[in-house]
Every structure is written in C-alpha cells, then in structure tokens.
Structure 1
Amino acid sequence: MNWEGLIEESGMSAVSSSMFRIVESQEQVATMGLVDSLEEQLLLEQMIEETKPKSESTDKNIHYLLSTPFRYPPLDWGSRFGSKTETSLFFGSKSITTLMCEAAYYRFIFWIGMSSSPSSKLRTQHTVLSVDYKSKYGAQLQLEPFVQHKSILTDSSNYKATQRLGNAMRSFGIKAFEYISARDPEEGINVALFDIEALASKKPVDTTQWFCETDGDQVLFRCDHHNKVYRYPYTFFQIDGKIPQPAN
C-alpha cells in the first residue's frame, strides 16, 4: 500500500474538534491500601511519580491527564498506528458511545490476558475527560482517498499496514488525525495525536467519574452523574467465536 502517495494526494488538512478519553483512576485507592496515613500516602505517590518517564513537553502547565500518554512507551504490540519502537499516541473518541466501545474491548483483552481469572467481578473506577484538539497539520482517514481502504484501516487484529501508515504520517509531519473505530459497529470516529502541541487546551474541558465491572461474560460502564449505563456482552466483540487480539 502506497500510503505516502495517498497522503500527498489528500494533502494535510486542518482538524479541530473535541474528543473524549478514558483513564483508570485507582492509583490513590491502590496506594492507600499500602500505608497507614494520608501523609504516608502522599510520600508514596511522590516516589511513584519520580519513577515515571519524564514528559517531553517543556510546558509545566499542561494537566497530567493530558501529558501522561506522551510519557510512556508503546504497548507490547504497539498500537494501530504506532509500532513498538515509536513513541505513544494520545487516543480518544469523538463520542462517548464510541469511547465506551473501545474501552470495553480493552477491558475484555485485560481479562483474557490474566493468568487466572478472578473469582468475582473486576471493579474499577475511571475518569472520562473531554479535551479540545486543533492542528493545521492533520489527516481525516474517514474521508477520501483513505476511506477506500476502510477494511485495512479497521482490521480487527492486523496492525501491520496501519502502522506503516502511522509511520508515513509521522514523516510527513502530521500532528493529529481522525479515523473510523474498529470496535464500534456504528463506525464512530476516533482521534489520535502524535504531538502534544495538537492539544488546544492545557487542561481537560470536563471530567466525569465512571464505574466499571468486568467478568468473562460482559463489561458494564456506569456514570451516576449522567445516569448512563453501557453494557457490552462478550459476544459483542466476537469474530469467528472469539475476541480478536491486538497484534502487529
């Protein structure tokens, strides 16, 4: 696939909108169980923070929820648009519905990957944040000419071609791009940022707290603030009888 040719054909386009991102918010709960007081907890969390990779951004005013994704190396399999040797991207979705589809899929991947499944449901707390993004160096993979290759861009488990596209976009200086979700059957739009400069604000526009329950049968997300529940059975993500694993 000549991704470079498609990028040249489409040209870089300005992209700007808002997106949602979900992060697990259990660090304070986890550390509190290891100490006897709030003072000890603060000290422990400071020690943990010092062991984390440093942010490449020189702007100290950027909220940690926005800068953290750029600090860490990729996952073992890389990501859909990044190899194991490239820096991580900031991923999100343009709608809560698409975001929950993506999050539920990875909760199942986490459950499947455990050496032994828990005897009860796995209960976790999460923060959903909204943030604005903006860049004149963008790409919209949900549009022509890229959409002609939708089956490749949304492959359920093979990331080889899309990782090559990601590498090509980096080399062309693209900072932010939009693409069709591979997990949302309604083909909602995801967003990815190569560069922290594509963030249009230095802190989240809004945050909400969510609770998640995961077991071998379903993933459930609940937000009491909005009285919303999203439920995904295991079969929701099945292809040929099993959930596809991320791979490159």
Structure 2
Amino acid sequence: MDPQLLRTSATSGHIWRIVEYQEEAATRNITRSAAEQDRLEQLLDAHKPAYPPSSLHLHWILRAPFRYPPLRHGSRFGRHTEMGILYGARERETAMVESAVYLWLFQQGLSDLGPLDVISDGRSALHFAVSHSRSADLTAAALDTWHSRISDPADYHFSQQLGSVHREAGSGLLWFHSARWPAGVNCAVIDPLAIGANTVPVQSQWNLRIDMTACWWGRPGGESFEVHYSDVADASGRIPHPALAA
C-alpha cells in the first residue's frame, strides 16, 4: 500500500453528525408512564452490546456508534468484524446530504412506496470537536489518484482495507472526500479518544421533507438547505451503495 496513504499528523476540527430527533424517546409511545418507559429502556439496554471501554468517557449520544459493529457489508472504513466507527462531516450540508442518501436508499428498496413516497420527520444536528495526534488527511492533493477508490460510492473493499491498516497502526481520525457530495469532507472517528471527555455536542433541531425528487431541511427562523435526488444519483438514475452491489 502506498506509504502516503498511511501518513498521519496531529489534526483537530469540528464535525457535524445527523441523528434521529432526541427530544422524545420512541418507547414513550408504547408505555403508559415515565416509570414504565424507564424500565423498558433498561431492559432494552441490557440486551445491547457492551460499550467498548475506550468510549466510556463520552457523552451518551457520541458513545453509541462505537457500541455496534458495522452491518454485514461493513462501513466505509470498517469491516463487519471490527468495532464501530463514528462518522461525521466537516460541513453541516454534507452531513445532511449523507443523511438524505440513506433515506433515499430506503425508499429505493421498496417496490411500492405507498405512504412513504413523502417522508416528513425531525432530526438533530450535532456539532462537536475532534482531535487526534495520529490523523490521516486522505483529501490531500498528493493522494489525488487514490480519491476515487477511497470514496467509491459503490465499493468498500479498498477503503475497508485502508481503514484496517490505519486502525492497527493506531490512527484515530480519517478525513476523506464525501462519496455523495464531492465538495464535502467527511470524518471517520476510529479512536473514541479523539473526542474529549467533557465534550457535549451542540444540538440543533431540524425538520426534513423528502420525496424521490428532493430533500428539504429547515428550522425556525427560515434557515434551510435542499439537495436534489439527481445530485447524488448515477447515470442510471439510481443511488449506488456497496450493500446493493453485493
């Protein structure tokens, strides 16, 4: 493997991560009281994987991604046998595009959209600091010939191999081009210690509306962002993904 791909240095910055709306627990809809909800949450938590020891210093909402290994096809830099990775984006808009893509992939997998042809929902945008002494900037101009393989929208093989090598070498952060939004930069947090113990993410609440043409994000005050399906689809009109190519 090209030694330049494994070069690391100390970097720091702030990243965005989009998660489901956090103000109301889903289990509250099926319980009759706060006590019942607390008990149900305890029972559910007892049957989930244990948190990796290196993540126990984190705020609960930032700790969760490290708890679960990737699904059967893995993630961009993680094999399905490895500890989970927290992914975020340097730009809020990039994080929103990535989130919209997975909603479109969900719709794309349905033979009949029915009432899901339009999804209106809420999301929380998290903004927090990351820093690590061993970070790899995979967006560097010197790695231009590798960018398309690192951020291939339909294939994880090369990037997972690269991720495993970095994990074994003790790398904590990987900065890389978004596969869905070329102008955007994503971040893979491999080492939970790249997030400080006192880090409490700043949360902002957003509404989204998505159909098979566009995804609109907005919040009180008039701030909004919109991405079109055609911006992320390939020439066939579909959104490629490694799980669909297998």
TM-score between both structures, scaled by the size of structure 2: 0.88
Shift of 1:59: 6.5
Tell me how far apart the structure 2 counterparts of residues 132 and 115 of structure 1 sit (CA, whole Å): 41
Shift of 1:95: 1.0
Which residue does the alignment assign to 2:226?
231
Corresponding residue to 1:167 among 133, 147, 164: 164
Corresponding residue to 1:132 among 117, 129, 133: 129
Tell me how far apart the structure 1 counterparts of residues 168 and 25 of structure 2 sit (CA, whole Å): 41
CA contact (8 A) 1:176 1:198 kept: yes
Matched, 1:112 2:108: yes
CA contact (8 A) 1:111 1:214 kept: no
Tell me how far apart the structure 1 counterparts of residues 240 and 211 of structure 2 sit (CA, whole Å): 17
After superposition, the CA RMSD in angstroms is 2.2
Corresponding residue to 1:148 among 141, 145, 149: 145
Tell me how far apart the structure 1 counterparts of residues 99 and 108 of structure 2 sit (CA, whole Å): 14
Gaps of 5+ in 2: none
Tell me how far apart the structure 2 counterparts of residues 67 and 192 of structure 1 sit (CA, whole Å): 14
Tell me how far apart the structure 2 counterparts of residues 18 and 118 of structure 1 sit (CA, whole Å): 39
Q: State percent identity of aligned pairs.
A: 30
CA contact (8 A) 1:70 1:87 kept: yes
Gaps of 5+ in 1: none
TM-score between both structures, scaled by the size of structure 1: 0.88
Helix, strand or coil: the match of 1:86?
coil
Which residue does the alignment assign to 1:76?
72
Question: After the TM superposition, which segments of 4 or more aligned residues of structure 1 sit over 3 Å from their partners?
Answer: 26-29, 58-61
Tell me how far apart the structure 2 counterparts of residues 75 and 202 of structure 1 sit (CA, whole Å): 30
With 101-110 and 117-126 compared, the bigger mean Cα shift is at 117-126
Tell me how far apart the structure 2 counterparts of residues 127 and 33 of structure 1 sit (CA, whole Å): 19
Tell me how far apart the structure 2 counterparts of residues 69 and 59 of structure 1 sit (CA, whole Å): 10
Which residue does the alignment assign to 1:94?
90
Tell me how far apart the structure 2 counterparts of residues 214 and 99 of structure 1 sit (CA, whole Å): 15
Which residue does the alignment assign to 1:179?
176
Helix, strand or coil: the match of 1:101?
helix
Which residue does the alignment assign to 1:50?
46
How has the CA–CA distance of structure 1 residues 20 and 59 changed in structure 2, closer, same or farther, with 3 Å as cutoff?
closer
CA contact (8 A) 2:20 2:123 kept: yes
Shift of 1:30: 2.5
Which residue does the alignment assign to 1:6?
4
How has the CA–CA distance of structure 1 residues 59 and 198 changed in structure 2, closer, same or farther, with 3 Å as cutoff?
closer
Which residue does the alignment assign to 2:211?
215
Shift of 1:102: 1.1
How has the CA–CA distance of structure 1 residues 58 and 93 changed in structure 2, closer, same or farther, with 3 Å as cutoff?
closer
Shift of 1:238: 1.2
Helix, strand or coil: the match of 2:43?
helix
CA contact (8 A) 1:141 1:177 kept: yes
Helix, strand or coil: the match of 1:46?
helix
Which residue does the alignment assign to 1:23?
19
